Amino acid sequence: MSIVTTALTVRSRQEALTEMGTGELDILVVGGGVTGAGIALDAASRGLRTGIVEATDWAGGTSQWSSKLVHGGLRYLYQLNFPLVAEALKERGLLLTSLAPHLVKAQPFLWPLKTPVIERSYSAIGVGMYDALAQFGGGGSSAVPHQKHYGRAGALELFPGMREDALVGAIRFYDARVDDARLVLDLVRTAAGLGALAANRAKVVEYVTEGERVVGAVVEDAETGQRVSVRARYVVNATGVWTEQTQNLVPDAARQDGLRVLASKGIHIVVPRERIRGEAGLFLRTEVSVLFVIPWDRYWVIGTTDTPWHEDVASPVATSRDIDYVLEQANSVLAEPLTRDDIIGTYAGLRPLLQPHDDDASSTKVSREHTVTEVAPGLAAIAGGKLTTYRVMAEDAVDFALTQLEGPKAAEARPSITERTPLVGAAGYPAWQSQAHRVAAEHALSPERVQHLLDRYGDELPDLLATMTARPELARPLEHAPDYLRVEIAYAVTHEGALHLEDVLCRRTRLDYEVRDRGLAALDEIGAIVADLLGWDAERLGAEQGAYRDRVEGIMAAERQPDDASAVAALHHHDTAPAA
């Protein structure tokens, strides 16, 4: 195989599939969301021969549709779940300071208070404990500022877009926000740089067994239809809401109970930044959960919901009823109510909710919100947890696999080092951040443009600048999506493994929900760049553009439906798969 690199390309993908079909892996990871990507990195960084396959695109399921927060879970304090909160706050600190500071940013939130004494008192205690746990997890220091209290006037100065009668005061506290799909990409790329074999759009269709033991999997290349038999000493199933489907590929004679997972839908709406006047986010407690109003550079992300999902797990969509609910909750505190005309995008995702077993099998490791269990000898499944604690989940999964393979001391002999392993783009980010103004001046870019690139690519900024120097046409902004440079579209293909236009519009960029037309106006320009790099002819390019247009029409039709069943029907009426 070629020299190990962090670049994900068409060639690296094909080489990974070919190499997975030769020899034997130590660990095969099934599922390329944040949990599976984290497991691949953990395993590769311990020196294990690792492969990871994903049926669609990296972060193609739940991991691209989160609230885009790295947080401790303030509401868990009211359930007295201190260990869970402390663990998540420690992980938040690691991501902010060393693992992915280019992607994860400290974010202030206001918690509006309705009563002046009682609510402020218990809320202050809760947020104070949140700060204390963050400091404890950070070894005596916190990666974010501590809480601050405001009266009504001070809170409205910080967030003038709130109704005066919606609060008597507020508490400001900090969490963090993240581009979830890019986090997954950087996890996979970092794992690849450490030797992991990574292939997206490669679906496990069968587990290979010898007797009752799983010894690998048959992987189907969705681009060619070809199948590869992959042998592995141990397989880890990290497929989220697809957990039961994928673990049930094991023959009945070998399969144990496995995990039981239910899907819960959460939706978000996106509105322009100028539509709400505020310098912080909002944390609102609702009757059933919480609602976040989260500021990004050009827009606000508002959500979420929490409703049972009984339809196709590959097709979560926002319904008219969902949108009305989020608008209602947000408008309960906003001085200038939002309407549907303000919405520039929506998205929906599914949370995998673990269902308890009747018994507590000895082969099962339960750690707070997530569970690792052996489905069959040679195959484990992991589910539950949340984006913030992906690294802990990954460590538990690899520890479990090593223990099953080599005995109770195996994990101690080869411990996880991901707590000290920065992701692609992270290590040199602070140094490049300090040079941002110099870079802007030397390359005739605005400081805002350089910051945009730094916050997406970190210390890979010089690679993009070099490409722009060599190919000046790529230094131009997209005509119909000027917040992105043409070089970013190229980089999605040359370094980030994009195989289809949908991959670029939905995950390498976020044009799918950042602009009202979901990127359709920029489709020709983006398509031309991608087609040139991937060698598409006019017919293939037309099929890719048609598939994306169908997807957009399906989502827009679904948003007009009152319930999940009719929304999915509307989506499927329009939707087509990416061209192969």
Write the DSSP assignment of 152-163 as a string of letters: HHHHHHH-TTB-
**What's residue 577's pLDDT?**
60
Q: Say if residue 244 is in the same domain as residue 193.
A: yes
**What's residue 576's pLDDT?**
61
Three-state secondary-structure class, residue 446? coil
Q: Say if residue 148 is in the same domain as residue 273.
A: yes
d(C-alpha 400, C-alpha 405), whole Å? 9
In the chain the first and final C-alpha atoms are separated, in Å, by 25
Strands 202-210 and 379-384: unpaired
**What's residue 132's pLDDT?**
75
Residue in 492, 498, 505 with CA at minimum distance from that of residue 457: 492
Q: Say if residue 83 is in the same domain as residue 171.
A: yes
pLDDT in tens, 358-372: 544 434 443 347 899
> Pick from 352, 375, 394: which residue ends a domain?
352
pLDDT in tens, 176-226: 999 999 999 999 999 999 999 999 999 999 999 999 999 999 999 999 999
d(C-alpha 104, C-alpha 217), whole Å? 35
Please give the structure tokens belonging to residue 577: 């798969």
Confidence bin at 3 (pLDDT 50/70/90): low
Strands 25-30 and 227-237: parallel
Considering just the CA atoms, what is the radius of gyration of the chain in Å? 23
Q: Are 354 and 384 in contact (CB under 8 A)?
A: yes
Q: Does the pLDDT at position 472 exceed 70?
A: yes
Is residue 385 included in any domain, yes or no?
Answer: yes
Q: Say if residue 348 is in the same domain as residue 292.
A: yes
Q: Say if residue 167 is in the same domain as residue 271.
A: yes
> Pick from 352, 380, 396: which residue ends a domain?
352
Residue in 541, 557, 478 with CA at minimum distance from that of residue 511: 478
d(C-alpha 399, C-alpha 380), whole Å? 11
Is residue 452 included in any domain, yes or no?
Answer: no
Q: Are 294 and 69 in contact (CB under 8 A)?
A: yes
Residue with tokens 């101690």: 412
CA 106, 110, 116, 119 torsion-angle sign:
negative
Q: Say if residue 80 is in the same domain as residue 190.
A: no
**Which residues, 6+ apart, have CB-to-CB distance to 534 below 8 Å?**
10, 493, 499
Is residue 321 included in any domain, yes or no?
Answer: yes
d(C-alpha 364, C-alpha 376), whole Å? 12
Q: Does the pLDDT at position 397 exceed 60?
A: yes
d(C-alpha 190, C-alpha 99), whole Å? 11
pLDDT in tens, 116-140: 765 666 676 677 777 777 776 665 5
Based on DSSP, count helices (H) and strands (E) in the chain, helices before strands: 20, 21
| Mean pLDDT across the chain | 92
**What's residue 286's pLDDT?**
84
d(C-alpha 418, C-alpha 429), whole Å? 18
d(C-alpha 189, C-alpha 423), whole Å? 8
Is residue 403 included in any domain, yes or no?
Answer: yes
Percent of the chain with pLDDT over 70: 93
- 292: domain CATH number is 3.30.9.10
Q: Say if residue 196 is in the same domain as residue 268.
A: no
Residue in 18, 51, 23, 12 with CA at minimum distance from that of residue 227: 18
Q: Say if residue 175 is in the same domain as residue 266.
A: yes
**What's residue 509's pLDDT?**
98
Q: Are 53 and 204 in contact (CB under 8 A)?
A: yes
Is residue 341 included in any domain, yes or no?
Answer: yes
Question: For the residues 401-425, what does the mean pLDDT come to?
Answer: 96
> Pick from 330, 352, 374: which residue ends a domain?
352
Question: For the residues 161-171, what does the mean pLDDT come to?
Answer: 95
**What's residue 574's pLDDT?**
76
Strands 379-384 and 227-237: parallel
d(C-alpha 94, C-alpha 99), whole Å? 6
Residue in 184, 305, 315 with CA at minimum distance from that of residue 241: 315
Q: Say if residue 377 is in the same domain as residue 406.
A: yes
Q: Does the pLDDT at position 432 exceed 90?
A: yes
Q: Say if residue 171 is in the same domain as residue 95.
A: yes
Residue in 383, 42, 398 with CA at minimum distance from that of residue 246: 383
Q: Say if residue 210 is in the same domain as residue 313.
A: no
Q: How does DSSP assign 19-71, residue by residue?
A: HHTSS-EEEEEE--SHHHHHHHHHHHHTT--EEEE-SSSTT-SGGGSS--EE-
Is residue 438 included in any domain, yes or no?
Answer: no
Q: Say if residue 370 is in the same domain as residue 234.
A: yes
Q: Write down the pTM of the prediction.
A: 0.95
Is residue 442 included in any domain, yes or no?
Answer: no
d(C-alpha 321, C-alpha 313), whole Å? 19
Is residue 450 included in any domain, yes or no?
Answer: no
**What's residue 366's pLDDT?**
39
Does residue 258 or residue 123 have the better pLDDT?
258
- 485: domain CATH number is 1.10.8
Percent of the chain with pLDDT over 90: 83
d(C-alpha 197, C-alpha 25), whole Å? 10
- List the domain range (segments joined by +) for residue 559: 471-574
Total domain count, the chain: 3
Q: Does the pLDDT at position 387 exceed 50?
A: yes
Q: Are 234 and 88 in contact (CB under 8 A)?
A: no
- 27: domain CATH number is 3.50.50.60
